[in-house]
Amino acid sequence: MPSDTSRPEEPRQEAFGYTCALCLRCCYHKHIQLNPYEVARLARQVGVSTTVFRAEFTQEGAGKALSQTETGACVFLGPEGCIVHPNRPLVCRLYPLGREVSNNGEESYVHLTPHPQSEGTLSKAGTIARYLEEQGAAPFIQAADAYFYWHCRAIGQLQALKTDPEADASDAEVATASAFRLLDMDVAIAGYCKDHGIAPPDDIETRHALHIQILDRHLMISASEGIADVHPAHVHADRDVQVEPR
Ligand code: SF4
């Protein structure tokens, strides 16, 4: 297939601009995917734990996508727009772009089809890089990548468990349930900090970094000891995340 020679090799240097007209049409009938970092930021804005947030504001309480009202509106769409705008998820920041990451870490951007009656204006006035900066996307992209790569490692480990002739058939199910429980950031951090006698960090970025380390160590311990269900107390944080002793 011929390559698109009109697009620069560095995806973020592609000419792009978008001005939202606040017509609000783009916040209906959309799958607004979430990762634990986004859940944590939204939960803090709403004033609840990540556990409560997942149960009350995400589809099937799974923490993977925002709920919608009966009209198809995002649960956070107010009469004048997004009521969680400072903490809106990455997909909302990127729209009408979509971001894809390959297994080898290369990113690319796709142009989504806006709502047919959208009043937003597309242009080539800037670059994708500038658009990402305007949208404050950097910490969200970093977090999305961190969870994506963890997810890839977890899937690989799960598949190995499923094909291991010496593993019990229920091991894979237990491992999935165990990892799912740890994806609730407040649960994972509370369990880890309680059992290690340290105060949970308050800063969201620090909590996110600790969360990734808890998840990583969970996989590592599971793999090295052949244990599918590892309690957060057995997981040790790396040294670059600062948590104060209680
Ligand atoms: S989080 Fe905000 S910007 Fe995103 S779909 Fe919901 S209302 Fe729209």
Lowest-confidence region among 13-17, 184-188, 219-223:
219-223
Contact predicate 208/141, CB 8 Å: no
Same domain, 174 and 123: no
pLDDT in tens, 74-89: 999 999 999 999 999 9
User: Within a 10 A sphere around the Cβ of 89, how many other Cβ atoms?
Assistant: 23
Atom 5 of ligand 1, nearest CA residue: 27
Same domain, 125 and 162: no
Reading the block at residue 8, the tokens are 């620069």
Same domain, 29 and 129: yes
Atom 4 of ligand 1, nearest CA residue: 92
Same domain, 115 and 152: no
Residue 9 in any domain: the answer is: no
Contact predicate 83/219, CB 8 Å: no
- Mean pLDDT is highest, among 80-89, 105-114, 154-163, 218-227, for 80-89
Query: Is 88 touching ligand 1 by the criterion CB < 6 Å?
Result: yes
How high does pLDDT run on average in the chain?
Answer: 86
Predicted model pTM:
0.86
Same domain, 122 and 159: no
Residue 156 in any domain: the answer is: yes
pLDDT recorded at residue 6: 61
Q: C-alpha dihedral over 157, 158, 160, 165, to 10 degrees?
A: 140
Domain boundary, last residue among 118, 136, 154: 136
Same domain, 36 and 99: yes
Residue 7 in any domain: the answer is: no
Residue 29 in any domain: the answer is: yes
Same domain, 132 and 169: no
Same domain, 122 and 215: no
Cα(93) to centroid(ligand 1), Å: 9
**Mean pLDDT within 202-228:** 84
User: Within a 10 A sphere around the Cβ of 215, how many other Cβ atoms?
Assistant: 24
Q: Provide the terminal-to-terminal Cα distance of the chain, rounded to the nearest Å.
A: 60
Query: Is 84 touching ligand 1 by the criterion CB < 6 Å?
Result: yes
Closest CA relative to residue 33, chosen from 108, 91, 88, 100: 91
**Mean pLDDT within 180-201:** 95
pLDDT in tens, 100-134: 998 888 999 999 988 889 999 999 999 999 999 99
Residue 160 in any domain: the answer is: yes
How many Cα atoms within 13 Å fall on the side-chain side of residue 88? 20
For residues 234 and 231, give the distance between their C-alpha atoms in angstroms, rounded to a whole number. 6
Structural domain tally of the chain? Answer: 2
Same domain, 74 and 122: yes
Same domain, 127 and 35: yes
Cα(69) to centroid(ligand 1), Å: 12
Residue 76 in any domain: the answer is: yes
Same domain, 48 and 146: no
Domain boundary, last residue among 85, 107, 136: 136
Closest CA relative to residue 191, chosen from 164, 226, 218: 218
Query: Is 65 touching ligand 1 by the criterion CB < 6 Å?
Result: no
pLDDT recorded at residue 115: 86
Which residues form the domain of 173?
Answer: 140-234
Residue 166 in any domain: the answer is: yes
5 pLDDT exceeds 60?
A: no
pLDDT in tens, 33-65: 999 999 999 999 999 999 999 999 999 999 999
Residue 182 in any domain: the answer is: yes
Domain boundary, last residue among 85, 111, 136: 136
In the chain, DSSP assigns E strands to 15-19, 77-78, 81-82, 97-101, 107-111, 121-127
